[in-house]
Structure 1
Amino acid sequence: MRWPAVPLREIAPPKASTQPFPDSFVWHLSLEQIEGDTGAVLAKNYDYSGNVGSSTFYFDTGNVLYSKLRPYLNKVVVPDEPGIATTELIPLRPDPKVLNPRYLAFYLRSPNFVKQASHHVAGTKMPRVVMDWFWKHKIPLPPLSEQKRIVEILDEADRIRRSRREANQKAERIIPALFLKMFGDPVSNPKGWPTKLFADIFRDTTAGNKKLQSKQFLEFGRIAVVDQGQSQIAGYTDDVALAYKGTFPVIVFGDHTRIFKFVDHPFVLGADGVRVLITKPRYNPLFAYWHCQLLNMPIAGYSRHFKFLKEKFFICPDKGLQDRFANFASIVTSQISVFENAADRVERLFSVMLDRAFSG
């Protein structure tokens, strides 16, 4: 049976909460608090309602909040309490008579919708979804009983996916713990290692390399695409002429996201805020990568962060110690990759389930 398709505006119009919070201590939701792909809230910041800026709105548990900024980051939240949010989020209000809020959230996170939304953007530096397209977009609308069944299946699949991620994260904590044991906190430097500035350790090799727009990413291809998103590999392309021209390994830094990635294989740069760094002689690149992971980087929203990285000092232990740490990290990383391969299979299965769930 084919389900009817209904424009978003008809069943989930933009409607913020009409319940203000005068002088209340409330949740202030920003994009940085939202995990891409899952919609998990990474942290909750609370403040008095009078301290918010003008570009905000009130929301409640009847809303589904969708980020119109950089839709490929895939940030959708079903709030569990009222609060105040940035206007980069759209306050959809699904009609409870016809639309389950969690069904809507899963649909907005589905790979097919994310791909479509990423094609319908305006702006280069700060791409946002074209709202006229968004509100006219038609969502498949099965009966509420079927929506509930789909949500239950996807919730269970999502639980398995999260468990797999948590297992990976526990394994990944081994390497930072070893770094801290061998070298101490690189920020406070309690062991008194000599230090150098960023410019003495790294060379920025980004310039001169071509970048690929997110709408051009393929699910499979001849060469991986690395961008500033959370996934190590954002997609693929068959255009090997776009490959990064420098030496390996490299550290890829997300200028907006503050995410570091260690890359030791051919790749294409994803567009929008990617920096590619190599280490200078006498500094082990894998040691440098984990050093970067432990830096206390300030959060400047979706502004550029590379300027802050360039101001950092880096500890300089003996090269032999750096190499010892890097050898151990390589062994642990190879084991983690086994877990990640399993996790990737779970992620791909979940993506397929998301798309098929809304096919009618």
Structure 2
Amino acid sequence: MTYPYVELKNVSEFINGFAFKPAHWEESGKPIIRIQNLTNSSKPFNRTSFEVDEKYFVSPGDILVSWSATLDVFEWQSEDALLNQHIFKVVPDYKIIDKNYFKYALKEAISSMMKFTRGSTMKHINRGDFLATKIPLPPLETQKQIAQVLAAADQLRKDCQQVEQELNALAQSVFLEMFGDPVTNLKGWKKNNLGGFIKIKHGYAFKGEYFASEGDYVLLTPGNFLENGGYRSQGIKQKFYLGDFPDEYMLDKGDLLVAMTEQAAGLLGSPLFSPSDGTFLHNQRLGLVQTVKPINKQFLFGLFNTSSIRQQIHFKAVGTKVRHTSPTKIEELNVGIPPINLQNKFSSFIEKLEQQKQHNKEKSQQLDDLFNALLQKAFKGELNLKSIERA
């Protein structure tokens, strides 16, 4: 079915946030919503008592669109707050458009908006192009039906993401159950400096003039580390390398690295395994873990993920604004080391857990594909609501 198309500016007001400056930041006052507070609810707020126009006030349930760096749609779920620049507060005309339908319409429209992005590494949307983006406008009752179908598919995706979080938490829970806290060492394992088992190798200082936004070789940075350990792609921010480099800084699949710079809160000491052979490069400020005595790398990954080890690394680090550690400081960590056979038993458990995570990842991809297909059909007028109701 074909529906009339309308420009975004004709169904909603889009209010850009206020340009708060560091001089406005205080210890108390209303929280300032920055893009990082939308993408990661654990990120701390900057606060202020600075008075701004009430159009910058955000309440729970308000729709927000981040239009710089991260391009996405959010519904604010926290306390009353103030809106920072580079985020739109969306004020729809609910007489003609359903809130939930509009959120999904905006998500679909963002794919079209991407052709209007500016910048090679820091993407942002031109306001005029954005407001001129068109979305279909079916009758209100049809909008609500479409939103219900999309919400059901979206919930399946979220359930899968929740399973992934629970599987990740299970790995660390089993580590602590088997080995206890490695610093307090209440299980009484023989204590050793990590340097008796591993050496940490510095990465290579790759030359900035050969950095690129695409290429064959991925340049690992602290931004590729998840706070709770593991690899994440940086998407459009990912750096690639086009120049020559020594072969020894090409990583193999399964190489274990540790972040030695706290590029963002919680990253210092975070571990990851290189995802594949012949693709990822060992950059400076990342420590490659090389074993010198028998010790299991999965055990080491779990070790670096414990809060007590992270605290030790942070405490011994240097720097005020950005904290740094070093190979020597990591090697000097004194921890309880359990027998290798117990480490291997833990590794076998993790191997089985990884199989479950891979299965869940594949299922998650299928659900993502389903949701995106429904999204496209819905906003092309191709979604057969009657057949879905019968199913």
Q: For this structure pair, what is the TM-score category when the shorter chain's length is used for normalisation?
A: 0.5 to 0.7
Unpaired runs of 5+ residues, structure 2, are 18-27, 236-240, 243-248, 314-319, 382-391
* Number of equivalent positions: 329
For each residue in 1:217-253, what CA deviation from the matched residue of structure 2 results, as whole angstroms up to 9, or x when unmatched?
Answer: 9xxxx99999849895688xxxxx98x9422324576
Aligned to 1:180: 176
Residues 255 and 52 of structure 1: is their aligned pair in 2 closer, same or farther, counting only changes over 3 Å? farther
**Is 1:265 aligned to residue 276 of structure 2?**
yes
Which of 139, 146, 158 is matched with 1:143 structurally?
Answer: 139
For each residue in 1:9-33, what CA deviation from the matched residue of structure 2 results, as whole angstroms up to 9, or x when unmatched?
Answer: 332222379xxxxxx9756544334
3-state SS of 2:291 partner:
coil
Distance 1:52 1:310 in 2: 41
3-state SS of 1:93 partner:
strand
Distance 1:13 1:115 in 2: 19
Distance 1:169 1:108 in 2: 27
Which protein is bigger by CA-based radius of gyration?
Answer: 2
Cα RMSD after superposing both structures: 5.0
Unpaired runs of 5+ residues, structure 1, are 18-23, 37-41, 236-240, 299-304
**Is 1:160 aligned to residue 156 of structure 2?**
yes
Aligned to 2:355: 334
Which of 321, 325, 331 is matched with 1:310 structurally?
Answer: 325
Aligned to 2:306: 294
For each residue in 1:108-161, what CA deviation from the matched residue of structure 2 results, as whole angstroms up to 9, or x when unmatched?
Answer: 334x7247437613364x443333332222223222222211111111112222
Within-5 A mapping of 1:1-360: 1-15=1-15, 28-35=32-39, 42=41, 50=49, 57-60=56-59, 63-71=62-70, 74=72, 76-79=74-77, 82-110=80-108, 113-114=110-111, 116-117=113-114, 120-122=117-119, 124=121, 126-185=122-181, 193-195=191-193, 200-204=199-203, 207=206, 213=213, 228=224, 245-250=250-255, 255=263, 258=267, 261-266=272-277, 278-282=288-292, 284-295=296-307, 296=310, 307-308=322-323, 310=325, 313=330, 317=337, 320=340, 322-360=343-381
Q: Is the 8 A contact 2:58 2:82 kept in 1?
A: yes
AA at the equivalent of 1:332: L
Q: Is the 8 A contact 1:66 1:90 kept in 2?
A: yes
Structure 1 residue 65: Cα displacement: 0.6
Structure 1 residue 350: Cα displacement: 1.7
Distance 1:274 1:5 in 2: 51
TM-score computed with the length of structure 2 as normaliser: 0.63
Distance 2:169 2:100 in 1: 32
Residues 278 and 355 of structure 1: is their aligned pair in 2 closer, same or farther, counting only changes over 3 Å? farther
Distance 1:348 1:49 in 2: 42
Structure 1 residue 179: Cα displacement: 1.8
Residues 5 and 78 of structure 1: is their aligned pair in 2 closer, same or farther, counting only changes over 3 Å? farther
Q: Is the 8 A contact 1:26 1:84 kept in 2?
A: yes
Aligned to 1:301: none
Structure 1 residue 348: Cα displacement: 2.2
For each residue in 1:42-62, what CA deviation from the matched residue of structure 2 results, as whole angstroms up to 9, or x when unmatched?
Answer: 4597897627999x9312357
3-state SS of 1:359 partner:
coil
Q: Is the 8 A contact 1:255 1:306 kept in 2?
A: no
TM-score computed with the length of structure 1 as normaliser: 0.68
